[in-house]
Structure 1
Amino acid sequence: MAKQFPQKRSSSAEISRFLDKANTLPAKADNQRLIFALDATASRQATWTQACALHGEMFSATRDLGGLAIQLCYYRGLGEFYASPWGSSPATLHDQMASVRCVAGYTQVRALLRHCLEEHQRGRLRAVIFIGDAVEESVDELCALAGECGLRKLPLFLFQEGDDADVARCFKRLCKLSGGAYARFDAASAALLKALLRAVASFAAGGVDALRKLPDNAARHLLEQL
């Protein structure tokens, strides 16, 4: 005769506690992936610290849209390029960023775009965010890669720190070719960078409709270019 286990009926309070706990668990974001990339050469330390403080905005903006999986990428020094494991929590991304120190070196935008295309082939990326202030590579080569991103429906969102006119022209061309959008900010524009990160994360998780629901000027600025 099979052993009978005593049955215990859960109280309404226990059920409520279970549901509350379930609601705090991170949402699955396997199909909503975004690469968050930064130039980590020597001049970028202040902005890196700023981005580290604001990165959580990308997660909070998408909580009601099903969450977001983010991969951190950066380059620095002489040919050092790093791509983190995919993560779905602000704590994970913060730990990855907090251990990084910027090191003098040359830009590696070409290596970044190639990496993004490879990741996109493995599993669809919704968008790429890149924050930088310089380009030291062939613009024609970068445009060819951005055009490939456009053909594969991988939009680039390039945020330029500073006001270098050559960088602005390059970033704008890459964004147009990929179907993404460009914006400029400076070291004092923490609120603007925060809004830009929220806007792209919302787009990555919920598309143009989610971006349209945001009330700030940063979202409208990106929408005008998409």
Structure 2
Amino acid sequence: MSREPTKPKSEGEVSPAQKAASGKAGSLPETKASASEDIAAFVAKAHAMSPHAAGARGRLVFALDATMSRQPTWDLACALQADMFREAASLGSLDIRLVYYRGLNECRASGWISDSAQLAKLMSKIDCRGGNTQIGKVLSEARREAVASAVRAVVFVGDAMEEQVDALCVKAGELGLLKVPVFMFQEGHDDTAERAFREIARLTGGAWCRFDPGAAAQLRELLRAAAAYAAGGREALLRLSRTGAGAAKLLGQMR
């Protein structure tokens, strides 16, 4: 995968190279928290979009920690991502935007992808690299897409949090105002990560769930549940919860 510039021309501006085409990842800039009037404006715009309207395509931001320790889970997520498309197919349709961070200040996003084979091909070209977490950039990207294209949900898969939790909570709160739930799927038992992930989920009206390292069945159920919500909303998640443990876990936490 070709590398692209990681710095925008100015604060809040995204270069053409960063507006990636489908299947090609582009760098994401960090942005400052919006002023109150900006928040009010994009809340009004997002509500007007009615993302769960009949016939609308479901849109899901699929974000993963791709730092060095995450390679086994990256490979697992790559193997399971097709289940999200299959689950959504019974309800309508699903577009996924892959967001990942790795290395030194590298955070990238793909275009919108509607085919599992295309997403698998993209993910197979990405290797994990050492570095710190960049969850703030993930939340900023989700906020931009919530306004631009009516994102219905965000899935994050990771095992650590190395940022200022209050700053993350501000971004999460903005997503909560937009009614975009974030499903925080934590691998392992890091206490710092758990506290932050739980709060992000709470502020967005989403859910936090833990899965064991390498537990394919657990992660599969969680991803299927998130895809069901993105494609069909709360009612779809409720129906899936009658037979799926992952959906029941998410539904039990969502306000």
**TM-score, normalisation: structure 2:** 0.76
Aligned with 1:64 (options 90, 110, 113): 90
Q: Which residue of 1 aligns with 2:214?
A: 188
Q: In the alignment, does 2:248 pair up with 1:220? A: yes
Letter aligned with residue 69 of structure 1: D
Cα displacement (A) at 1:31: 3.2
C-alpha distance after superposition, 1:80-102 (max 9, x if no partner): 11100111010110011000100
Three-state SS of the structure 1 residue aligned to 2:156 is strand
Residue ranges of structure 2 left out of the alignment (5+ in a row):
1-54
Instruction: Please tell me the residue identity of whatever aligns with 2:252.
Output: E
* 1:57-85, Cα deviation, whole Å (9 max, x unpaired): 00000112111000111000001111001
- 1:124 aligned to 2:147? no
Contact 1:71 1:83 in 2 (8 A): yes
Measure, in 1, the Cα distance between the counterparts of 2:186 and 2:230.
20
Q: List structure 1 runs of 4+ shifted beyond 3 angstroms.
A: none
Confirm whether residue 82 of structure 1 aligns to residue 108 of structure 2: yes
Shift of 1:188: 3.1
> Is contact 1:30-1:69 (8 Å) kept?
no
Give the % identical residues: 49
Residue type at the aligned position of 2:182: L
Structure 1: segments with no counterpart, 5+ residues: 1-28
Farther off after superposition, 208-217 or 103-112 = 208-217
Cα distance, 1:202 vs. partner? 0.3
Counterpart Cα distance in 1 of 2:130 and 2:219: 23
Shift of 1:30: 6.2
CA contact 1:65–1:206 (8 Å) conserved in 2 = yes
- What amino acid maps onto 1:180 in structure 2? G
Distance in structure 1 (CA, Å) of the matches to 2:249 and 2:56: 28
How large is the RMSD of aligned CA atoms in angstroms?
1.0
SS in 2 for 1:65: coil
Shift of 1:223: 0.5
SS for the counterpart of 2:63 is strand
**1-structure distance, mates of 2:198, 2:95:** 26
Structure 2 counterpart of 1:108: 134
* Conserved 8 A contact 1:162-1:185: yes
Equivalent residue, structure 1, for 2:166: 140
Shift of 1:42: 0.2
Counterparts of 1:75 and 1:169, CA distance in 2: 21
Alpha-carbon separation, structure 2, partners of 1:208 and 1:116? 19
> If the length of structure 1 is used for normalisation, what is the TM-score?
0.86
Q: Distance in 1 between matches of 2:194 and 2:113?
A: 31
Are the counterparts in 2 of residues 199 and 218 from structure 1 also a CA contact under 8 Å?
yes
Tell me the equivalent position of 2:187.
Answer: 161
Q: Distance in 1 between matches of 2:137 and 2:89?
A: 31
Measured at CA, do residues 202 and 165 of structure 1 come closer, stay the same or move farther in structure 2, by a change above 3 Å?
same
**Bigger radius of gyration among the two:** 1
Q: Which residue of 1 aligns with 2:234?
A: 208
How many residue pairs match? The answer is: 198
Three-state SS of the structure 2 residue aligned to 1:55 is helix
Q: Which residue of 2 aligns with 1:53?
A: 79
Instruction: Name the residue aligned to 1:93.
Output: 119
Structure 1 letter corresponding to 2:114: S
- The CA deviation string for residues 74-131 of structure 1, in whole angstroms up to 9 with x for no partner, is 0000011110011101011001100010000111001111111011111110000000
- Is the CA contact 2:84–2:224 (under 8 Å) kept in the aligned structure 1? yes
Matches of 2:217 and 2:58 in 1, distance apart? 25
**1:43 offset after TM fit, Å?**
0.3
CA–CA distance in structure 1, aligned partners of residues 147 and 234 of structure 2: 22
